[in-house]
Structure 1
Amino acid sequence: MTKLKKITLVLITLLVVMIGGIFGYVYSKLNSIYVKDEATKKEEAVEGKVVDGITNILLVGVDGEMIDKGNRSDGTMVVTIDSINNEIKLTSIARDTLVNIPGYGNEKLTHAYAYEGIDLLKEVFKENFDLEIDKYVAVNFSSFMEIIDEIGGVVVEVPENGLDAINSMIDVCYQYYSEDDRENIQKIHLTKAGKQRLNGYQALAFSRIRYTDDAFHRDARHREVAEAAYEEFLTKGQEEYKKCADILLDNTKTNISPMEMMNLGFTALKIADKDIEQFQFPLEEHRTGGIVDKQTGWVLQWDKEPNLEAWHKFIYGE
């Protein structure tokens, strides 16, 4: 657990986006992505732990264009908005974490979304992590790149040993732009390591590299991009918020109502927490990586009691 940072910038993006525009404009945009029936059904079914003043929201970055199901969850995070202690907390859950997926058996966490979408992923969280997830935001790659471009990029630390891998992934991520966009946006590879500002496809490439270190450094890069985007948003004005709302809400699905989203946005801006607490699940000292069997491949096995005790304490306090 450290204090500091992709799709998982999405909630932080949304929270701030909702505050900047004219009320009616933003409300109508939010209403277009709100899954009302699902939200009502979930409110009636909640059985897990609830603490007044603490809101947990599941963020899912989908590794393709299909937002409902069919693509894996490339990035999975939980944002905790703690209005009691005026804190924003960020948890990364490794995509290769071995979990029991109801109806499918023991597999990597990333597969649940591809099988049946957000409902199955929420079941996985309840059964494996004892977390009742009743709020979520799911987004695809396209909006991630466009949002980063709209806010003028993000400043991150590019590792020396990751430079070649990022440039290779840039070739892949650049293709997510439409043909029209590619005519207007030049593909530029990185020429140096160190702290620098990355545009949309560069930031996505930075977030997605996997084989230069390990899954946990990759998750740390997700959080780094998320925090960098949050800091950028704090410097922007009303017009940028409205443009980002247009981009984001065309590629997003959520069960958070428009009014609730705006209230969460006000809370997040009020906190204005640039020192975001972070947690990586599972903990380094209570996990082992390896191949379980040929079909499952390389996974992270984890000790249930110490991992869940530490994670719940991080979210809810003592």
Structure 2
Amino acid sequence: MLIRINSAHVEDNYNSQYKKVEGITNILLLGTDGRENEDKYRSDAMMILTIDTIHNDIKLTSLARDTYVDIPGHGKGKLNAAYFWGKEDLLFKTIEQNFKIGLDKFVQVDFEDLMNIVFVIGGVDVEIEEREIQSLNEGIPGAYNSCTYAEKGEMQLINNAGKHTLNGYQAIAYARMRYLDNGIYRDGRQRKIISGMFDGVKDLSMSEYPKLLNTLLPYVKTNLTVGEMLNLAFTSYSFATSKEIKQAEYPIIDDKHVKGGKYKNAGWVWLYDVNSTGVLHDFIYEDINMEDNEYLKDDSKIELNY
């Protein structure tokens, strides 16, 4: 197991500009979709996984990849371009400087490897809507063909709405759907997959965690050390198995604190209210649900980042 963990561990030189908040651990979850022989590619999914031992909660916050931000050293552009220009270090710096949130660690997995992880844990339970079936089935053949899991079996489509236990290639096809609606719905589907993965393993006993880690670690890259992994597992185990994961999206997608559209040479982006970063901060550190934040009741301080 130690060999597995060491093979997944990567050193990083980034030092957060924010002082560590005792009881709050923010782990940036990165889903990448690089093609073979590509040295540079964008982060396809970005979420902040918050382990909050102050309020005994786990939180999962999607960061919209089309958010218009300042990328240190590269001017303005989409958030997911930061990974293209400088991998995890530059993405860390970009998120911290624009959103005023301190990040502690990261875990990165390629979408192709995520398929194998879903197979290993026995699938993920997801509620499929009627309107999603056609788009999902259109994406399944491509995901199936690229799936390397040895026991993937015959390709299976989804025939009806309702709760389904999605296997690896079905789950990735679901997470990649983008033309049915928009990127915000896509972020929500990605959170469903991650939450489903948590639900799939939360009934395991602590004694089963080493075996699970040993199986999953070849598919991930992280700057978490052995001690940090075990400490986070121990400290969060009691409430992680008894509570639902709290979920959020940033920027705040409404008709006031964000504006979507083509802007300058950046393409289609989300221009967001820079003062609403306090709502994100309150969700992560103070455990205040975004929709309940008092700031959203006063429109006088809205300042979009034109």
Q: TM-score normalised by the shorter chain: which range applies? A: 0.7 to 0.9
Q: Could you say if the C-alpha distance between residues 242 and 143 of structure 1 is closer, same or farther in structure 2, counting changes exceeding 3 Å?
A: farther
TM-score (norm 2): 0.85
Q: Determine which of 189, 205, 223 is the counterpart of 1:221.
A: 189
Q: Contact 1:67/1:252 (CA < 8 Å) preserved in 2?
A: no
Q: Which aligned pairs between 1:164-313 and structure 2 lie closer than 5 A?
A: 164-178=134-148, 181=150, 185-236=153-204, 241=209, 244-272=212-240, 273-285=242-254, 286-293=257-264, 295-306=265-276, 308-313=277-282
CA drift of 1:132 comes to 2.7
CA drift of 1:68 comes to 10
Query: SS at the partner of 1:117?
Result: helix
Q: Distance in 2 between matches of 1:129 and 1:228?
A: 27
Report Cα offsets for 1:140-160 as digits up to 9, x if no partner: 123211111122211111121
Q: Distance in 1 between matches of 2:234 and 2:259?
A: 40
CA root-mean-square deviation:
2.3
The yes-or-no answer on 1:97 pairing with 2:72 is no
Q: Could you say if the C-alpha distance between residues 309 and 132 of structure 1 is closer, same or farther in structure 2, counting changes exceeding 3 Å?
A: same
Q: Contact 1:69/1:115 (CA < 8 Å) preserved in 2?
A: no
Letter in 2 for 1:311: L
Q: Could you say if the C-alpha distance between residues 224 and 282 of structure 1 is closer, same or farther in structure 2, counting changes exceeding 3 Å?
A: same
Q: Contact 2:114/2:219 (CA < 8 Å) preserved in 1?
A: no
Q: Distance in 1 between matches of 2:206 and 2:275?
A: 46
Q: Could you say if the C-alpha distance between residues 134 and 69 of structure 1 is closer, same or farther in structure 2, counting changes exceeding 3 Å?
A: farther
Q: Distance in 1 between matches of 2:159 and 2:61?
A: 31
The yes-or-no answer on 1:120 pairing with 2:126 is no
More helix by share: 1
CA drift of 1:239 comes to 9.3
Q: Could you say if the C-alpha distance between residues 240 and 111 of structure 1 is closer, same or farther in structure 2, counting changes exceeding 3 Å?
A: farther
Q: Distance in 2 between matches of 1:231 and 1:153?
A: 10
Report Cα offsets for 1:56-82 as digits up to 9, x if no partner: 111101113679962221110001111
> 2:40 matched to which residue of 1?
70
Q: Could you say if the C-alpha distance between residues 238 and 88 of structure 1 is closer, same or farther in structure 2, counting changes exceeding 3 Å?
A: closer
Q: Distance in 2 between matches of 1:149 and 1:252?
A: 15
Q: Percent identity?
A: 39
Query: SS at the partner of 2:156?
Result: coil
Identify the structure with bigger relative contact order (alpha carbons < 8 Å, sequence gap 6+). Answer: 1
TM-score (norm 1): 0.82
Q: Distance in 1 between matches of 2:191 and 2:209?
A: 21
Query: SS at the partner of 1:220?
Result: helix
Letter in 2 for 1:252: V
The yes-or-no answer on 1:81 pairing with 2:51 is yes
Q: Contact 1:142/1:251 (CA < 8 Å) preserved in 2?
A: no
CA drift of 1:218 comes to 1.2
Query: SS at the partner of 1:156?
Result: strand
Query: SS at the partner of 2:8?
Result: coil
- Unaligned 5+ residue runs, structure 2? 289-306
Letter in 1 for 2:46: T
Aligned length: 284
